[in-house]
Amino acid sequence: MATSGSINFSVSRDDLILAAYQHVGLLGEGDTPSSAQTSEAALLLNMITKARMADGMPLWALKRGYILPFTDASSISLGGSVQAVTSYVTTTTTAATAAAGTTVTLTSVTGISDTYNIGIWCTDNTIQWTTVSGAPAGLVVTLATGLTVGCASGARIFVYQSANRIVQPKRIIQCNVDNVLSESRRPITQISQQEYYDLSSYTTASSPNQFMVDVQLGSTDFYIYPRMATTDEIFSITYHRPFEDFDASTDTPDFPQEWYLALMMELSVLLGPKAGLTIEERNSNTKLWQYYLDLALSNGTPSESIYLQREEPF
């Protein structure tokens, strides 16, 4: 007998909803949920998805990203229009551009296109961000906005697409400082809020060696110490991205295949009271969901060794 050779099995939002309703006996074979039942279950399914972000560090949602240089600040709020991205290109200017200038001549224009975001290191030691206006003409890039302050020859340039911006991360697990000039990398230390607020001289500019993360309802704030002093350094981070919503009936789960049963079973647990299940039936359903949840969790966390170091008392 031959196997299928296929491994792309998936389910949709409405597949999970139908299976959950059938599991608790609210729908029979061949039945379909009403629009009201679908809306109610879709709301619960999205709540389940967000609750699962509290499980820890699932491998499929751990991503690498980059925080591009930011000047005259000790912190930046990640998300929205902030320069935190999944990919970027960097190059340098080959000629100076005066204040109000709308073109820069670059060493390379590879990976640079119309409407891309571009940051130019200016002579006042700040970065001005604007967008690329039109396709590059040779090595000349036209800016949508003229420079407030001019830039020198050899100024560092960063370019990225808006689509590559990082959505608000839930956690930042690890952070390095990457030197784009020497192509070297070094780790920096994550500290607590109390340790960060105990630091002095926040305006000191040098090579950052510590960072702190403050996760708020609307943003994830990234703090560094000391401030950045050069555009030759950026931050590369490992972060936990949010799980995607179920918005449409055909949306597939933002989870690996081994999570499909756990998601459906958790939805059925929440639908149990509406279905009129007895306490015994609901307890049995909960135990079955817990089994599939534990099974899914066992295959979704890092398998590397964890090293713990005891802090000696004073």
How confident is the model at residue 274, as a pLDDT?
Answer: 92
Per-residue pLDDT, 310? 45
At residue 301, the pLDDT reads: 62
* Contact indicator for 213, 37 with CB cutoff of 8 Å: no
Beta strand pairing status for 117-121 and 205-206? unpaired
> What's the pLDDT score for residue 220?
92
pLDDT at 306: 47
Instruction: List the chain pLDDT tens, one digit each, 314 residues.
Output: 799 999 999 999 999 999 999 999 999 999 999 999 999 999 999 999 999 998 877 889 999 999 999 888 999 998 777 899 999 999 999 999 999 999 999 999 999 999 999 999 999 989 999 999 999 999 999 999 999 999 999 999 999 999 999 988 999 999 999 999 999 999 999 999 999 999 988 888 899 999 999 998 888 999 999 999 888 999 999 999 999 999 999 999 999 999 999 999 999 999 999 999 999 999 999 999 999 999 999 986 655 544 444 444 43
**What integer pLDDT is reported at residue 269 of this predicted model?**
98
Give the separation between CA 148 and CA 50, rounded to whole angstroms: 43
Residues 78 and 222 sit within 8 Å (Cβ to Cβ): yes
Predicted pLDDT at 302 = 59
Q: How far from 11 is each of 37, 38, 115, 279, CA to CA, in Å? A: 18, 15, 36, 30
Confidence at residue 312, expressed as pLDDT on a 0 to 100 scale: 47
Spatial CA neighbour of 227 closest among 192, 190, 193, 201: 201
pLDDT for 75-92, tens place per residue?
A: 999 877 789 999 999 999
Q: Which domains does the chain have, with CATH numbers?
A: 9-40+257-297 (no CATH), 59-84+166-240 (no CATH), 89-163 (2.40.30)
Tokens describing residue 129: 């961000």
